[in-house]
Chains A and B, each alone.
Chain A
Amino acid sequence: MEKKQKDLDQERSLIEMYSSGRGTLEEQFLDEMRNFIVHTLESGPTLESILQGASKCIRTLFQFKKVAFGIRCRDDSYRYLAMIGFENEAARRKIIYTSEDIKDIISYRSVRICKNAQFHLSEEIPHNQERENIYNRPNLLGTVRQHPDDMIEGDFIVIILQGKNKEIIGWIEVSGTTSGKLPGRETILRLEFFGSCLTPIIIGYPEGVLLHDDPKKPL
């Protein structure tokens, strides 16, 4: 059989077109997303470690100082399973939300932004002295916002994660931008997209972890 000869000039041209340089910001974002998912599929020993990795990835990609994942557990409660940037993680891990809490938009009043994101304003958070220890700087709660586009202590954004039948399986919570200003619209859209990509991994995580008897383990 005749050996096929590859056109080497063409090969160089393709590599130049598709493999050289860092690419646009959008291309870099897609690469980072893919690398994160591939790494997750390769290793991911537990869902908790995957979400911890996702927290780090979000902090790097989106410039938020604090990231947390709330996940629905087998007893239908919602708990924080992974987080980064919080000084008192233990206090946050103790918090338990019921399904009613999640649906209660009066106590947890927020402004819906983009598609699956909710912006919780510091001014609207009900005062709860018992929960002040979940903030890194509780003494700054209640500080007057100097400019409408400031992001202040107590502000946070929630990206809702929906599983089968649109059930809420958890959320991504981010706060504290490195600039101290509200994040851009593109940031929120990309964060929502990140949440979409993570959802099948959360709900499809191999049995053995998800079927753990511990009621704190997520569904």
Chain B
Amino acid sequence: MSDQEFRTKAMIRLFEKMNPTDQIERILRTDYSGISQNQYEDIMSAVSIFISHSIEKKSIEAILKEAVSIIHRLFDFQFVAIALKDRDGMFRYKVQLGLPQEAERKYFELEYSPSDPLKESTFPSTAVSDLTRFYMQENTPYKEDEIETYARPILLTQKRMTADEMLEGDYIDVDIPGWRREIIGYFELGMTRSKKLPPKGTIKWLELLATMIGAIISER
């Protein structure tokens, strides 16, 4: 009999001797571990911690900084940014992770009206849900003066070899809805480490996270 078999049989004998309440308590303590067992549980745990941190944080900027950090860590994106609507109604980027310093400076100078991201003539896009739009490199979804805001602009002419490949010029916007569903900002996500478009589950997580951030910051 192996050590493992011996231990298992000893456990069964012990279990049989227990009264029913002790048995169920033992089941509850052993089967319902809070330790993450897969990537999905890792993400759930990280988002829960992010939400509890956000409740404590005083500034919106601190919340957004933690948000880009966890998106960068949990998902495959090399580039993550968050834009918010300012009092003048224009959207401006507040935080980013993944751009070199010079590109970041130019990126933070950009500003958009609420209708700009929807202008097909300038920023052709594909809506895959009520919150998420994909901007694909082949459709040149950028203005001439925005080329310097890419980390590696030299790659903007690269050809896509497979439908699920992600290119330097591809980016994804996920809207942040506030109270009464007004769009108060958006995530911008670019280039994955795997060089593949993100899986559908990642988009669902980002949409939920954007919605939660909207709920947290919209009344501040």
Contact = CB atoms under 8 A, between A and B. Distances in A.
Interface of A: 1, 3-7, 10-11, 13-15, 17-19, 23-24, 26-27, 30-31, 33-34, 37-38, 40-42, 111, 113-115, 117, 119, 121, 123-124, 144-145, 148-149, 162-165, 182, 185, 188-190, 192-193, 196-197, 199-201, 203-204, 206
With most chain B CB atoms within 10 A of its CB, the pick from A7, A34, A40, A115 is A34
With most chain B CB atoms within 10 A of its CB, the pick from A18, A26, A33 is A18
A188 B29 CA distance: 13
Nearest to B201: A27
With most chain A CB atoms within 10 A of its CB, the pick from B28, B129, B177, B201 is B28
A129 B75 CA distance: 53
Nearest to A146: B20
Contact of B201 (A7, A24, A124, A189): A24
8 contacts: A4-B120, A6-B120, A7-B136, A7-B138, A10-B163, A115-B34, A117-B32, A145-B20
Interface majority SS (helix, strand, loop, mixed), chain B: helix
Interface string B90-128: 000000000000000000000000000000111010101
Contacts of A123: 20-21
Interface of B: 20-21, 23-25, 27-29, 31-34, 40-41, 44-45, 47-48, 51-52, 54-56, 120-122, 124, 126, 128-129, 132, 134, 136, 138-141, 163-164, 177-181, 197, 200-201, 203-205, 207-208, 211-212, 214-216, 218-219
